[in-house]
Amino acid sequence: MTKKNIGTTGLLSVTLIAVMLFSLVGSCTSNDPEAITALLYSDGKPVAISIKDGKIAAVKKISDLPAGSAGLIVAPGFIDNQVNGYAGVSFTFGGGELTAEGVKKATRELWKTGVTTYIPTLTTNSNELLTKNFSILGAVKDDSALLGSIPGFHLEGPFISPVDGYRGAHPLRFVRKPDWEEFLQLNKSAGNNIIQVTLAPEMEGALDFISKCTEAGIVVGLGHHNADAQLVKEAIDRGADIATHLGNGCANMINRHINPLWPQLSDDRLMVSIICDGFHLNPEEIRVFYKVKGPGLTIITSDVTSYAALPPGKFVNVEGDTLELTPEGMVKYPAQNVLAGSASPLKKGIANIIRVTGCSLEDAVGMATRNPARLYNLDDRGEIATGKRADLVLFRMKDGEIIVEKTIVNGRVVFDREKKSI
C-alpha cells in the first residue's frame, strides 16, 4: 500500500488501533501514584520518589520542588508499636464490641495521622475476652483492605505487677502469673501473630517465660513492674528487649535509689519506648531518657486508646469508672485527676520530642520509624530506600505541630487532606 492509498479512512483506522493499544497497555499498569516530590525529612533537600508495585523504585535528588509543594516534607510512614484502640474502637474491652470492620475503621483513622504500620495491643483481661479478640484480629490481619498495616500483635499483661501504681489502669482481678501454656493458646487464637509480650519480671515464673519468648522470636517488654536491678539484669540476660513506656506503669512514690527506672536506663542492651504526648511524662523526664538512650535506643509510642479522635467529654468504661477526655487530649479519671490513658496520635509525640529535647526531625522520625522496624525485624519498612515498601507520609510543620497532608501505604494513597479522605 502506498502513502496516497491510506486516505482519511486509513488514518482513522490507524489512529483507532493506536488508541486501543494505548488503552490496553494502560489497563495493564499498576495503580502506583505519580512520583512524590517533597523535602526529604533527613536533610531537607528536594527529592522525587517513584513507586512501582507498592515499593519504592527510586529516590532522586532534584533541584527544586514544583509549585504548591513549598514546605512539604516526606518521611517513612510512622510505626506505632502500642495501639490499644482508636476512634471508638477498643482492641481489649467490651463484650463483643470488637469486629473486623472495627479494626478496619481504626486502621483508616490511623492512616489519617501518618501511621502506616501499627501493632494492636491487648491489655490485661480475662482469658475468654483475650482469646475472642485475638481471634478477631488474627482473622482480619491479612485482609487486603488493611494493606499489610498490621504485622502482629502486642500482649501487654496480664502477667504484670498486681501492686497499685505499678499495675496502672489494668484491672486487678485479671492480673495473673505468667503461664506459658495459656500464652500458647492465646497466640494460637491470634494465628501465631503475637510479636511482643510486656510483663513484670518479678512475677513468679516470669524469667523462664522470657527465655521461652526469646527462643520463639517474640519481643519481650518489661513494663508495669517493680523489679530490682538484679532482676532487670537477668531479664535482659534472658532476652528482654525493651522497657515498655518507661516512666509510666510506675508508682508515684518510689525509693530514690532502688527503683525500676535506673537499671532499665543504665543497661545499653535495652531499648525504651516513651509516651511523648505532653501528659504522660514531664519535659525533663523526656530529656533525661533521651540523653541516656539517645536516638538509637528510643522508640516513640502513643499507647493510644479508643478515646482518641473522639470529641471531648465524659465516658464510662467497662469497669464502671467515669473517664474524661479533655479538649487538650488528656484522658483522666476526673475524681482523682490522674491519667487513665492516651488520646494523642503518634505524630504529636514526634513533634513534642523535638520541642522538648531539641533533637533533629531526622532523629525524631527515626524513633518512630527506623527503630520499631528494627526491633520487630520489619526489614521492608521504616526507611525511604529503593526496594522498601512504599509506606510514606507527607506533612508540613506548622507552629511546632505535624500537619499530615497525604499518607501512602504499600504504594497506595490512603489519605489526602485536600480530598478529606480516599
Catalytic residue among 32, 80, 241, 303: 303
Classify residue 335 as exposed, middle or buried by CB count within 10 Å of its CB (0-12, 13-18, 19+): exposed
Q: Enumerate helices (H) and strands (E) in the chain, giving the number of each.
A: 11, 21
Q: Three-state SS across 348-391?
A: HHHHHHHHHHCCCHHHHHHCCCHHHHHHCCCCCCCCCCCCCECC
**What is d(CA 332, CA 365) in angstroms, rounded to the nearest whole number?**
28
**What is d(CA 94, CA 307) in angstroms, rounded to the nearest whole number?**
14
Q: What share of the chain is helix, strand, coil (3-state, %, to 5)?
A: 30, 25, 45
| Cell of residue 72, nine digits | 512539604
Smallest Cα–Cα separation from 382: which of 140, 176, 151, 220?
151
Instruction: Compute CA distances 411 → 147, 150, 280, 418, whole Å.
Output: 9, 16, 34, 19
Sign of CA dihedral 410, 411, 412, 418: positive
* 303 included as an active-site residue: yes
What angle do the packed helices 127-140 and 180-189 form, to 10 degrees?
A: 40
What angle do the packed helices 283-293 and 346-357 form, to 10 degrees?
A: 80
Starting at the edge strand found earlier in the chain, the sheet holding 194-199 runs 78-83, 115-123, 153-156, 194-199, 219-222, 242-243, 271-275, 298-301
Determine the residue type at 392. Answer: L
Helix (H) or strand (E) holding 265: helix 261-266
Query: Do the beta carbons of residue 370 and residue 266 sit within 8 Å?
Result: no
Which residues fall within 8 angstroms of residue 361, CB to CB, at 6 or more apart? 41, 73, 354, 397
Determine the residue type at 386. Answer: T
**Active site residue ranges:** 303
